[in-house]
Structure 1
Amino acid sequence: MQLKSKTNYFIVMFAFLISACATPVITHFDDPTNTYNAQTTYQKLKGDYPFITIASTTSPATVKEIKNITYVQYGNRAMQLDLYLPKPSTKKLTPAIIFVHCGGWKHGYRENFTPMAVRMAEQGYAAATISYRLSPEAQYPAAIYDVKAAVRWLRIHAKKYGVDAQHVAIAGGSAGGQIASLVGVTNDEEKFDPQRKSGKVSSAVQAIINIDGLSDFTSETALKYEDDPKKNPSAAGAWFGGRYSEKTELWKEASPINHVSKNTPPILFIGSAQTRFSVGREEMIAKLKPLSVDTQVVLLPNAPHSFWMFDPWLEPSVKSTVEFLNSEFNYVPQR
């Protein structure tokens, strides 16, 4: 009995030491400069738009939320998402939409799209808000790899969450809009998705919603802001690891307009009154139309950038997105 007791003691101590020495999983990259959220943005906007309110992040009884799900892990770094699901009255599978947050490729949080995700779930869609690696942690194309991994995760777990794996949309605002577009126009291209190998689940999406995001980094207007020599580095320069003159091919490669093809998914553009953020949109549409790719544009007059975090602009954004996806997916929500 004494030998057995000592053996058990050593087993417990060994397990304790292993646990104590284990590398903790990191779910959040610590950046004290990352303060871009609805609260700080509201303080900047309320003077010019005194009527706005921060959109609610509370899920109603008709929406089920599942938070902090790890969708991919690199070593001890875990990338996570929050999932918002409609509580259906039938067992019909629901299409899904994945939101890529804003923040100049270097700031922001997935919670910035929680209000829109919740309202999309209210309208009968499964909605996910994702975190991805920002430029202080990993430069381009890490964010693209992350978003495609999130699409693949959702498709792998579609049955578990009642998702229609054949109808997945990608959406994003500002920098997230550019990322969403690039993810969509490079469906299943191995260069942009090195984890995509023969036999693996596809990371392709069937629709794109670009909310106030760039379509062309290399246009004269975009370079004026994104390659501003007074900024060292600019937001885009930090993401690419160099100015346009230094990393020209990356700036071109990351421009969704340069990947347009007959296989490009249908795309909805939602824009504010701040045209600098949607540079390249009209040129991209002009390239898509001869290819018979469906495109729609919804403009919100007098709306500021980051409008998707605030009422009264969230409602028309959701309405436009729902109508577009219902049409493209031939979907009638069961609510």
Structure 2
Amino acid sequence: MARALRGWWGLALFLPLLLTGCATHIDRNGEVTALEEVEPVHYAVERLAPRTYTPPDWPEMLEARVLLPDTPPDQRRPAALLVHGGGWQRRSPDDMDEIAERLAERGYVTVNVAYRFAPEHRFPAQLHDLQRAMAWIHEHANAWRIDTDRIVGVGYSSGAHLVSLLGVSANVDALAEPHGGDHARLAAVLGGGLPSDLFKFDDGRLVVEFIGGTRAERPEAYRLASPITHVDADTPPHFLFHGRWDGLVPLDHATDFHAELLAQGVESELYLQHYRGHFTSFLTRGNAIEAGIAFLDRQLLDD
């Protein structure tokens, strides 16, 4: 028995190391075999007290967690809006804290936000929250030395869906928050486990409660809520990572979305994690996030 237990513990310790290297990284030219090795800069980080980003008349008071990197004082820096997953109705910004810290250490001002939950608040309430968060970031751009042309979105699962939808819907009037202003444009998106086409779900509870009806009952809302339907030449570049064994958000959400982005001339990279499902793809995300941050850096540098 002791020997068996030692074997299981050894496997548990070894499995994350085994999974780390099991991925396929694809861009428009096919598989990415190697990237230029750049030693990343690591900045000290100041953590601000959580603060409300919504106005007093908003349906719900929502908070943001802000990290400020200690970059040279004469430089504007990029920012990242981070959005957690949870089926649009649970979890918290806690899930994105580690990724926010990693981005902040690399020089990004990070804004890790809460948003309204379904089913009490239906789509597009959550998207409007993010649009309001973007306006709030712009309001603080001078104080936090943010280059507002270099704001990226980062999320996982329903959070990835929301930041991608924010990115693709800048020109979709039906999705605009009336008082958000023209501040919702993202320079790039890093999303994992992203539900890109809500029509692909078999009227599951989470999606029905998010939209407020089935596909047959609310087809236009499903279309508006599906990032893949809004892709055009103005869509921001996307880095997508996805578990090949994902049974909650099947793999074709990523592969079809990646193909549509490329078809519209949009930069896209797809990082396929082998032997992962939906949750293990996030829990063993390390190399995917590193590759994703490198992608973001390249897009912002190109700008």
Which bin holds the TM-score, normalised by the shorter protein? Answer: 0.7 to 0.9
**Aligned residue among 205, 222, 230 for 1:251:** 222
Task: Name 1:19's counterpart in structure 2.
Answer: none
Unaligned runs of 5+ in 2: 1-7, 17-41
Q: Which residue of 1 aligns with 2:187?
A: 206
When the two structures are superposed, what TM-score results if normalisation uses the length of structure 2? 0.80
In the TM superposition, what whole-angstrom CA distance separates every residue of 1:181-233 from its partner, at most 9, and x where no partner exists?
11110015332123357xx44211111112111111113xx32xxx14xxxxx
Q: 1:182 aligns with which of 150, 165, 172?
A: 165
SS in 1 for 2:49: strand
Superposed CA offset, 1:38-64 (max 9, x none): xxxxxxxx99x83489xxxxxx98111
Counterpart selection for 2:50 from 68, 91, 101: 68
Look at both structures and tell me which one has the larger radius of gyration over its CA atoms. Answer: 1
Deviates more, 1:248-257 or 1:73-82: 73-82
Q: CA separation in 2, counterparts of 1:195 and 1:108? A: 27
Give the aligned partner of residue 113 of structure 1.
Answer: 96
Distance (whole Å) between structure 2 residues aligned to residue 305 and residue 180 of structure 1: 18
Q: Provide closer, same or farther for how the CA distance between residues 173 and 129 of structure 1 changes in structure 2, counting only shifts above 3 A.
A: same
Identity of aligned residues (%): 23
Q: Is the 8 A contact 2:156 2:282 kept in 1?
A: no
The one-letter code of the counterpart of 1:50 is: A
- Residue type matched to 1:79 in 2? L
* Match 2:81 to one of 78, 82, 98: 98
- Preserved contact between residue 151 and residue 205 of structure 1 (Cα < 8 Å): no
Residues 94, 251 of structure 1: CA spacing in aligned structure 2 closer, same or farther, 3 A cutoff?
A: same
The corresponding residue for 1:240 is: 211
Deviations 1:222-274 (A, max 9, x none): 32xxx14xxxxx01111111122222221122111110111111111011233
Say whether 1:50 aligns with 2:12.
yes
Q: Say if 1:275 and 1:239 are closer, same or farther in 2 by CA, change over 3 A.
A: same
Question: Letter of the aligned partner of 1:114 in structure 2?
Answer: D
1:70 aligned partner, one-letter code: T
CA deviations 1:54-105 (Å, max 9, x no partner) are xxxxxx9811111321111335731111011211144311111111110011
Structure 1, 244-253 or 297-306: larger mean CA deviation: 297-306
Q: Shift of residue 304 of structure 1?
A: 3.8
Q: Is the 8 A contact 1:65 1:83 kept in 2?
A: yes
The partner residue of 1:129 within 102, 112, 131 is 112
1:282 aligns with 2:244: no
The question of whether the paired residues in 2 share the 8 Å contact of 1:308 and 1:314 is answered with: yes
* Coordinate RMSD, CA, aligned: 2.5
Contact in 2 for aligned 1:158/1:164 (Cα 8 Å) = yes
Q: 1:69 to 1:217 in 2, by over 3 A?
A: same
Name the CA shift for 1:145/1:77 in 2 (closer, same or farther; >3 Å): same
Structure 1 residues 156 and 189: alpha-carbon distance in aligned structure 2, compared to 1, 3 A threshold: farther
What are the equivalent positions in structure 2 for 1:141-152 lying under 5 Å apart? 141-152=124-135
SS at 1:98 equivalent: strand
Q: Answer whether contact 1:113 1:309 (CA < 8 A) is retained.
A: no
Measured in 1, the distance between the counterparts of 2:58 and 2:161 equals: 27
User: In the alignment, residue 108 of structure 2 is paired with which amino acid?
Assistant: Y
What's the CA shift for 1:321? 2.0
CA contact (8 A) 2:43 2:104 kept: no
- What letter is aligned with 1:117? A
Q: State whether residues 193 and 243 of structure 2, in contact with CA within 8 Å, keep that contact through their aligned partners in structure 1.
A: yes
Mark the runs of 5 or more structure 1 residues left unpaired by the alignment: 1-45, 54-59, 229-233
Aligned residues of 1:190 and 1:196 also touching (Cα < 8 A):
no
SS at match of 1:306: helix
Distance in 2 (CA, whole Å) between partners of 1:257 and 1:316 is 26
Once structures 1 and 2 are overlaid, which stretch shifts more, 285-294 or 322-331? 285-294
Verify the 8 A CA contact 2:244 2:273 in the aligned structure 1. Answer: yes
Aligned to 1:301: 274
The Cα of 1:148 is off from its aligned counterpart by 1.1
Q: SS at 1:258's partner residue? A: helix
Three-state SS of the structure 2 residue aligned to 1:84 is: strand
Q: Distance in 2 between matches of 1:75 and 1:89?
A: 36
2:302 maps to 1:325: no
Mark the CA change 1:286 to 1:70 in structure 2 (over 3 Å): closer, same or farther: same
